[in-house]
Chains A and B, each alone.
Chain A
Amino acid sequence: MQNTGGTKITIKETQEKLKNGDISPEDVVSGFLSRIKERNKKTNGLLSVFEDATKEIKKKDKKLPLYGAVFAIKDNILIKGERCTAGSKLLEHYIAPFDATVIEKIKKKGGVFIGKGNMDEFAMGSSTENSAFGLSRNPLDLERVPGGSSGGPAVAVADGMCNAALGSDTGGSIRQPAAFCGVVGFKPTYGTVSRSGVISMASSFDQVGPLANSVEDAEIIFNAIRGKDEHDSVTSSLIKKKVKGKIKIGIPKEYFAEGMEREAKETVEKAISKINSPEIEVVKISLPYTEYALPAYEVIMASEVSANLARYDGIRYGLEFDRPAAKTIQDAYLNNRGEGFGKEAKRRIILGTYALSAGYYDAYYVKAQKVRTLIAEDFKKAFKKVDVILTPATPTLPFKIGEKIEDPLAMHLSDIFTVTANLSGLPAISLPCGKSGKFSVGAQILANRFYEDILFSVAKKLEKIWKQ
Chain B
Amino acid sequence: MINKKELEKLAFFARIKLDREEVSKAPQEIEEILKYIQKLSDVDTLNVEPLFHFPELRNIVREDEAKTIDKDIQKKMMGMGKDKDDYLKVESIL
Contact = CB atoms under 8 A, between A and B. Distances in A.
B86 to A, nearest CB: 15
Contacts of B22: 343, 346
B76 A81 contact: yes
A369 B16 contact: no
Nearest first, the 10 closest Cβ-Cβ pairs linking A and B are A338-B17, A369-B50, A370-B45, A93-B80, A334-B17, A333-B15, A373-B51, A372-B51, A230-B62, A353-B14
Interface of B: 2, 7, 10-19, 22, 26, 29-30, 32-34, 36-43, 45, 48-52, 54, 56-62, 67, 69-70, 72-73, 76-77, 80-82, 88-94
A206 to B, nearest CB: 13
A372 B33 contact: no
Interface string A177-221: 000000000000011000000000000100000000000000000
Contacts of A93: 80-81
Interface in A408-430: 408-409, 412, 423, 425
A337 B16 contact: yes
Contact of A338 (B19, B32, B60, B94): B19
Contacts of A289: 43
B93 A234 contact: no
A23 interface: no
A230 to B, nearest CB: 4
A277 to B, nearest CB: 31
Contacts of A204: 52
Interface in A316-365: 316, 318, 320, 325-326, 329-330, 332-339, 341, 343, 346-347, 349-351, 353-354, 357, 364
Contact of B52 (A296, A310, A369, A412): A369
Contact of A367 (B40, B58, B72): B40
Task: State the majority secondary structure of interface residues on A.
Answer: helix
A97 interface: yes
Given A354-B34, A373-B49, 7 more contacts: A231-B62, A233-B61, A238-B56, A295-B37, A347-B26, A367-B43, A370-B50
Contact of A408 (B2, B33, B57, B90): B33
A229 B12 CA distance: 37
A348 to B, nearest CB: 9
Interface of A: 80-81, 83, 93-95, 97-98, 190-191, 204, 228-236, 238, 289, 291-292, 294-296, 298-299, 306, 310, 313-316, 318, 320, 325-326, 329-330, 332-339, 341, 343, 346-347, 349-351, 353-354, 357, 364, 366-374, 376, 408-409, 412, 423, 425, 449-450
A294 B37 CA distance: 8
Nearest to A450: B56
Contacts of B14: 306, 310, 337, 349-350, 353
Contacts of B42: 292
B90 A372 contact: no
A250 B16 CA distance: 46
Given A292-B43, A354-B2, A449 B13 contact: no
A291 to B, nearest CB: 7
A374 B34 CA distance: 21
Nearest to A355: B37
B36 A97 contact: no
B94 to A, nearest CB: 7
A95 B15 contact: no
A409 B32 contact: yes
Contacts of A337: 14-17
A95 B16 contact: no
A234 B50 contact: no
Contacts of A80: 70, 73
B37 A191 contact: no
Contacts of B17: 334-335, 337-339
A440 B51 CA distance: 35
Contact of B12 (A326, A334, A450): A334
A314 B42 CA distance: 41
Contacts of A366: 50
